[in-house]
Amino acid sequence: MPELIFRKLAELDCVEAIALGGSRAGSDYDEKSDYDVYVYVKEAVDETERREILSHSCRYMEIGNHFWEYEDNCVLHSGIDIDILYRDLDNFCRDIERVVIQCQPSNAYTTCMWHNLINCKIIYDREGKLQAAKRKYNVPYPKKLKTAIVERQLKLMDSAMPAYKMQIEKAVMRQDLVSINHRVTEFLASYFDLLFAVNEKTHPGEKRLVELCKKYCSVLPENFEENIRILLSHLYADGKEQKKVAADIRRIIECAKEIVT
């Protein structure tokens, strides 16, 4: 645990709270798991000041990356990666309210930030605002949200005009390898969003999804893991084998429909 980093960040006046998220906040981590640290700030922390704080604990640092959230991506002296993300707590809570209270689904990963909040390990909380948010949103999975996610994902996967099924079929006919790969990836993102919603479980993120579904979801489609393995084996095959991807997608959709009807 990078305690020195936590202690130094907590000394800054603009830092409201610090939390540990991801697998390291629970029990589902291994020796390859990195540290996901969320720093809730009232205003930006100067990059020079952050570099000084991190330099004592890290052997490599990339300060101020903004590919997803605003973050510092580093490697601790132990060799373990640590990602430190800087957030505005009020904005973060508004995004969660949109999901939990307003029940608005996304194309994928709908409940990831909700999962992040209610499962984080609070390291520091100056005025208790993060703990208060955690209590507020630690509620049963809304039925309205479940329905909204399932309906949206089934349309995206199967029945809407731009559904992934049709896009994948076209890409397979054209042998457009990049498009096949991209559309299958998006299809699977919607698929897992649906599975976690059906089981009324918050989405844990993008890693080890098959493993986590098997561990925490009591309702899974028939041949769940096997169908994914078959799809991926055909996805990276050549010629006639790759043409089976479209049929694999249809099979996964039909099995998914059986658990939501």
Whether pLDDT at 161 is above 90: yes
* Mean pLDDT of all residues in 150-165: 97
pLDDT at position 34? 86
Q: How many CB atoms lie within 10 A of CB 127?
A: 9
What proportion of the chain, given as a percentage, has pLDDT over 90?
Answer: 89
Q: Assess whether 152 and 227 both reside in one domain.
A: yes
Phi, psi of 74 (to 5 degrees): -135, 170
Q: Assess whether 147 and 254 both reside in one domain.
A: yes
Which residues are CB-neighbours of 6 under 8 A, at least 6 positions away?
Answer: 18, 37, 123, 124
Whether pLDDT at 125 is above 90: yes
Average pLDDT, the chain: 94
86 forms beta bridges with 39
Q: Assess whether 159 and 201 both reside in one domain.
A: yes
Where residue 252 falls among pLDDT bands split at 50, 70, 90? very high
Domain that holds residue 30: 3-136
* Mean pLDDT of all residues in 29-52: 88
Written as six digits, the tokens of 155 are 């349309």
Select the more confidently predicted residue: 17 or 242: 17
Q: Assess whether 159 and 124 both reside in one domain.
A: no
Where residue 261 falls among pLDDT bands split at 50, 70, 90? confident
Q: Assess whether 161 and 124 both reside in one domain.
A: no
Q: Assess whether 48 and 15 both reside in one domain.
A: yes
Q: What are the C-alpha distances in Å from 31 to residues 24, 120, 210, 211, 236? A: 10, 19, 19, 16, 29
pLDDT at position 210? 97
Q: Assess whether 127 and 16 both reside in one domain.
A: yes
pLDDT at position 22? 74
For residue 107, the domain's CATH number is 3.30.460.10
Using the 3D structure, point to which of 119, 136, 153 is the last residue of a domain.
136
Using the 3D structure, point to which of 136, 162, 186 is the last residue of a domain.
136
Alpha helix ranges (H) inside 73-176: 89-100, 112-119, 129-136, 143-154, 164-174
pLDDT digits (tens, 9 = 90+) for 41-63: 999 999 999 999 999 999 999 99
Q: Rounded to an integer, what distance in angstroms lies between the CA atom of residue 9 and that of residue 25?
A: 18
Structural domain tally of the chain?
Answer: 2
Q: Assess whether 206 and 153 both reside in one domain.
A: yes
Q: Assess whether 7 and 116 both reside in one domain.
A: yes
235 neighbors 187 (Cβ within 8 angstroms):
no
Q: Assess whether 152 and 229 both reside in one domain.
A: yes
35 forms beta bridges with 82
- Nearest Cα residue to 2 out of 64, 59, 49, 63: 59
Using the 3D structure, point to which of 94, 109, 136 is the last residue of a domain.
136
What is this structure's pTM?
0.91
Q: Assess whether 93 and 132 both reside in one domain.
A: yes
Q: Assess whether 111 and 178 both reside in one domain.
A: no
Q: Rounded to an integer, what distance in angstroms lies between the CA atom of residue 39 and that of residue 72?
A: 11
19 forms beta bridges with 38, 122
